[in-house]
Amino acid sequence: MPVNIFEPFVKSLSAIFEEMAGIEVKLESTVNSEYEEIAALGVVSVINFHGKIKGRVLLDMAPNLAITIAQNLMSEQFDDERDSMVLATVSEMNNIICGKAMVPINNELGLKLWMSPPYVFTGTDTMICISKIPSASFIYYTRYGKVKLNIAFEREN
């Protein structure tokens, strides 16, 4: 996968975590894989893309991190990552990260990408089965837990 496809997502994640939630992220590791399964950290949001290429972006974070972000945004206390507002927070965060990344991809590369509304689910160590597209995972450390960004794109048939 070319750098100019995944780089906007990586930059966008750091910027949005800081801007929306006031949380600093540090890149811990990067993994390139072709596996069809990913073990979830806790709260997962997926957005699918279509255009001149197709793919998906998966944002996965530790339950405590998801709860902290929701609390920072809403100024309310949440105790359970399954709370609808916590799920909505992770979902919208993925939507905003991907939306920001799409601007340079569409404006500079002319790939005419559009994205589906996000969907979200929870489950620590849940195995997520995904279509076999070569993907890159970026795993970040925050003081509230880990977050993973998994990016996969391929040419439209």
- According to CB under 8 A, which one of 3, 26, 117, 155 is a site residue for another protein? 117
Rounded distance, CA 60 to CA 100, Å? Answer: 18
Task: Count the residues in the chain.
Answer: 157
Helix, strand or coil for residue 127? strand
Minimum CB separation of residue 132 from another protein in Å reads: 27
Amino acid at 61: M
Do the beta carbons of residue 2 and residue 154 sit within 8 Å? no
51-110 residues near another protein, rule: CB under 8 A: 70, 73-74, 84-85, 88-89, 91-92, 95-96, 98-100, 102-103, 106-107
Rounded distance, CA 68 to CA 66, Å? Answer: 6
Residue with smaller CB distance to another protein, 41 or 70: 70
Residue with smaller CB distance to another protein, 17 or 138: 17
Whose structure tokens read 């255009």?
Answer: 51
Do the beta carbons of residue 81 and residue 67 sit within 8 Å? yes
Residue with smaller CB distance to another protein, 8 or 42: 8
Cα 62 off chain centre by:
12
Residue range at the interface with another protein (CB under 8 A); choices 13-21, 24-32, 57-65, 131-139: 13-21
Encoded tokens for 115: 């994205």
Minimum CB separation of residue 19 from another protein in Å reads: 6
> Which residues contact another protein by CB under 8 A?
16, 19-20, 70, 73-74, 84-85, 88-89, 91-92, 95-96, 98-100, 102-103, 106-107, 112, 114-115, 117
